[in-house]
Amino acid sequence: MSRLNDLLEKTLSEIREIMPWNLVDRMAENPELIILDVREPKEFETLHIEGSIHVPRGVLESACEWDYDDTVPALVTGRDKEIVVVCRSGRRSAFAAKTMQELGFTNVVSLKTGLRGWNDYEEPLVNSAGETVGEEFADDFFTSKVRPDQLKPKP
Ligand SMILES: O=S(=O)([O-])[S-]
Protein backbone atom coordinates (compact mmCIF):
# COMPACT_ATOMS: atom_id res chain seq x y z
CA MET A 1 0.00 0.00 0.00
CA SER A 2 1.29 3.45 -0.90
CA ARG A 3 1.14 6.32 1.56
CA LEU A 4 0.98 9.96 0.53
CA ASN A 5 4.74 10.43 0.64
CA ASP A 6 5.36 7.27 -1.43
CA LEU A 7 2.85 8.41 -4.01
CA LEU A 8 4.34 11.88 -4.04
CA GLU A 9 7.88 10.58 -4.46
CA LYS A 10 6.81 8.41 -7.39
CA THR A 11 4.89 11.29 -8.96
CA LEU A 12 7.82 13.68 -8.58
CA SER A 13 10.01 11.19 -10.45
CA GLU A 14 7.56 11.33 -13.36
CA ILE A 15 7.07 15.07 -13.76
CA ARG A 16 9.20 18.20 -14.05
CA GLU A 17 9.33 20.97 -11.45
CA ILE A 18 10.58 24.53 -11.61
CA MET A 19 11.61 26.90 -8.84
CA PRO A 20 9.95 30.30 -8.20
CA TRP A 21 12.85 32.19 -9.82
CA ASN A 22 12.47 30.03 -12.93
CA LEU A 23 8.78 30.94 -13.04
CA VAL A 24 9.68 34.64 -12.87
CA ASP A 25 11.91 34.11 -15.94
CA ARG A 26 9.32 32.07 -17.81
CA MET A 27 6.65 34.75 -17.18
CA ALA A 28 8.97 37.36 -18.65
CA GLU A 29 9.96 35.21 -21.61
CA ASN A 30 6.67 33.62 -22.61
CA PRO A 31 3.58 35.85 -22.72
CA GLU A 32 1.54 32.76 -23.63
CA LEU A 33 2.51 30.96 -20.43
CA ILE A 34 -0.43 29.56 -18.50
CA ILE A 35 -0.22 29.54 -14.72
CA LEU A 36 -2.78 27.08 -13.43
CA ASP A 37 -3.73 27.27 -9.75
CA VAL A 38 -5.34 24.04 -8.51
CA ARG A 39 -6.12 25.06 -4.91
CA GLU A 40 -9.60 25.33 -3.41
CA PRO A 41 -11.77 28.40 -4.20
CA LYS A 42 -11.29 30.06 -0.79
CA GLU A 43 -7.52 29.71 -1.09
CA PHE A 44 -7.50 31.24 -4.58
CA GLU A 45 -9.78 34.12 -3.54
CA THR A 46 -7.48 34.96 -0.66
CA LEU A 47 -4.33 35.13 -2.74
CA HIS A 48 -2.96 34.02 -6.08
CA ILE A 49 -0.50 34.98 -8.79
CA GLU A 50 -2.06 37.73 -10.90
CA GLY A 51 -3.30 36.39 -14.22
CA SER A 52 -3.36 32.76 -13.15
CA ILE A 53 -6.23 30.48 -14.14
CA HIS A 54 -8.11 28.83 -11.28
CA VAL A 55 -9.23 25.21 -11.61
CA PRO A 56 -9.64 23.33 -8.32
CA ARG A 57 -7.89 19.95 -8.38
CA GLY A 58 -11.23 18.20 -7.96
CA VAL A 59 -12.51 19.26 -11.38
CA LEU A 60 -9.21 19.31 -13.24
CA GLU A 61 -9.88 16.36 -15.54
CA SER A 62 -13.21 17.67 -16.81
CA ALA A 63 -11.80 21.21 -17.07
CA CYS A 64 -9.34 19.80 -19.63
CA GLU A 65 -12.08 18.39 -21.91
CA TRP A 66 -14.90 19.96 -23.97
CA ASP A 67 -18.56 19.53 -23.04
CA TYR A 68 -18.41 19.68 -19.26
CA ASP A 69 -19.72 22.31 -16.84
CA ASP A 70 -16.13 22.72 -15.70
CA THR A 71 -14.58 22.97 -19.19
CA VAL A 72 -11.90 25.65 -19.43
CA PRO A 73 -11.32 26.34 -23.15
CA ALA A 74 -7.84 27.74 -22.53
CA LEU A 75 -6.87 24.37 -21.10
CA VAL A 76 -8.63 22.17 -23.66
CA THR A 77 -6.84 24.05 -26.45
CA GLY A 78 -3.61 24.38 -24.48
CA ARG A 79 -2.25 20.84 -24.64
CA ASP A 80 0.98 22.01 -26.28
CA LYS A 81 1.25 25.31 -24.42
CA GLU A 82 3.70 25.90 -21.58
CA ILE A 83 1.75 25.40 -18.35
CA VAL A 84 3.00 25.84 -14.78
CA VAL A 85 0.73 24.27 -12.17
CA VAL A 86 0.78 25.86 -8.72
CA CYS A 87 -0.69 25.08 -5.30
CA ARG A 88 0.29 25.91 -1.74
CA SER A 89 3.45 23.87 -1.31
CA GLY A 90 3.91 21.86 -4.49
CA ARG A 91 2.15 18.58 -3.72
CA ARG A 92 -1.27 19.06 -5.27
CA SER A 93 0.36 20.72 -8.27
CA ALA A 94 2.67 17.73 -8.73
CA PHE A 95 -0.27 15.32 -8.79
CA ALA A 96 -2.16 17.67 -11.10
CA ALA A 97 0.81 17.96 -13.48
CA LYS A 98 1.06 14.17 -13.59
CA THR A 99 -2.63 13.83 -14.43
CA MET A 100 -2.33 16.48 -17.13
CA GLN A 101 0.63 14.67 -18.67
CA GLU A 102 -1.53 11.57 -18.84
CA LEU A 103 -4.24 13.64 -20.51
CA GLY A 104 -1.82 14.63 -23.28
CA PHE A 105 -0.37 17.91 -22.05
CA THR A 106 3.16 18.01 -23.43
CA ASN A 107 4.69 20.98 -21.65
CA VAL A 108 3.39 21.03 -18.10
CA VAL A 109 5.51 21.54 -14.98
CA SER A 110 4.80 21.97 -11.28
CA LEU A 111 6.00 24.87 -9.14
CA LYS A 112 8.31 23.36 -6.53
CA THR A 113 7.68 24.93 -3.08
CA GLY A 114 4.34 26.27 -4.40
CA LEU A 115 3.00 29.73 -3.70
CA ARG A 116 4.56 29.51 -0.29
CA GLY A 117 7.99 29.47 -1.89
CA TRP A 118 6.86 32.14 -4.33
CA ASN A 119 5.98 34.37 -1.37
CA ASP A 120 9.25 33.51 0.40
CA TYR A 121 10.99 34.63 -2.78
CA GLU A 122 9.12 37.94 -2.30
CA GLU A 123 7.12 37.70 -5.49
CA PRO A 124 3.70 39.39 -5.53
CA LEU A 125 0.33 37.83 -4.78
CA VAL A 126 -3.09 39.43 -5.19
CA ASN A 127 -6.53 38.77 -3.71
CA SER A 128 -9.77 38.34 -5.67
CA ALA A 129 -10.19 42.15 -5.76
CA GLY A 130 -6.80 42.43 -7.48
CA GLU A 131 -5.19 44.06 -4.45
CA THR A 132 -1.65 43.12 -3.52
CA VAL A 133 -1.55 40.90 -0.45
CA GLY A 134 1.06 41.62 2.21
CA GLU A 135 3.95 39.21 2.50
CA GLU A 136 3.37 38.61 6.22
CA PHE A 137 -0.33 38.00 5.71
CA ALA A 138 0.53 35.49 2.99
CA ASP A 139 3.13 33.88 5.21
CA ASP A 140 0.57 33.38 7.96
CA PHE A 141 -2.03 32.13 5.47
CA PHE A 142 0.40 29.50 4.19
CA THR A 143 1.42 28.32 7.67
CA SER A 144 0.13 24.85 8.37
CA LYS A 145 -2.75 24.78 10.85
CA VAL A 146 -2.84 21.11 11.75
CA ARG A 147 -5.09 20.54 14.77
CA PRO A 148 -3.98 18.22 17.60
CA ASP A 149 -6.60 15.62 16.58
CA GLN A 150 -5.06 15.51 13.09
CA LEU A 151 -1.62 14.55 14.38
CA LYS A 152 -0.53 10.91 14.16
CA PRO A 153 -1.37 9.30 17.51
CA LYS A 154 1.69 8.45 19.60
CA PRO A 155 2.14 4.68 20.13
O1 LIG B 1 -0.92 22.42 -1.71
S2 LIG B 1 -0.10 21.49 -0.93
O3 LIG B 1 1.18 21.20 -1.57
O4 LIG B 1 0.15 22.08 0.44
S5 LIG B 1 -1.06 19.87 -0.72
11 CB burial (10 A radius; 0-12, 13-18, 19+): middle
Say which CATH number the domain at 100 has.
Answer: 3.40.250.10
For the segment 105-138, what is each residue's pLDDT rounded down to a tens digit?
999 999 999 999 999 999 999 999 999 999 999 9
Residue 50 located in a structural domain: yes
Q: Separation of 123 CA from ligand 1 center, angstroms? A: 18
Q: At residue 1, does pLDDT exceed 90? A: no
Asked whether the beta carbons of 112 and 19 are under 8 A apart, the reply is yes
Q: What's the domain count of the chain? A: 1
For the segment 24-82, what is each residue's pLDDT rounded down to a tens digit?
999 999 999 999 999 999 999 999 999 999 999 999 999 999 999 999 999 999 999 99
Contacts of 87 (CB under 8 A, 6+ apart): 37, 38, 39, 57, 93, 96, 111, 114, 115
Residue 14 located in a structural domain: yes
Does the Cβ of 64 fall within 6 Å of ligand 1?
Answer: no
Residue 152 located in a structural domain: no
Does the Cβ of 90 fall within 6 Å of ligand 1?
Answer: yes
Does the Cβ of 89 fall within 6 Å of ligand 1?
Answer: yes
For the segment 71-108, what is each residue's pLDDT rounded down to a tens digit?
999 999 999 999 999 999 999 999 999 999 999 999 99
Show the domain range for 129. Answer: 3-142
Residue 149 located in a structural domain: no
Residue 148 located in a structural domain: no
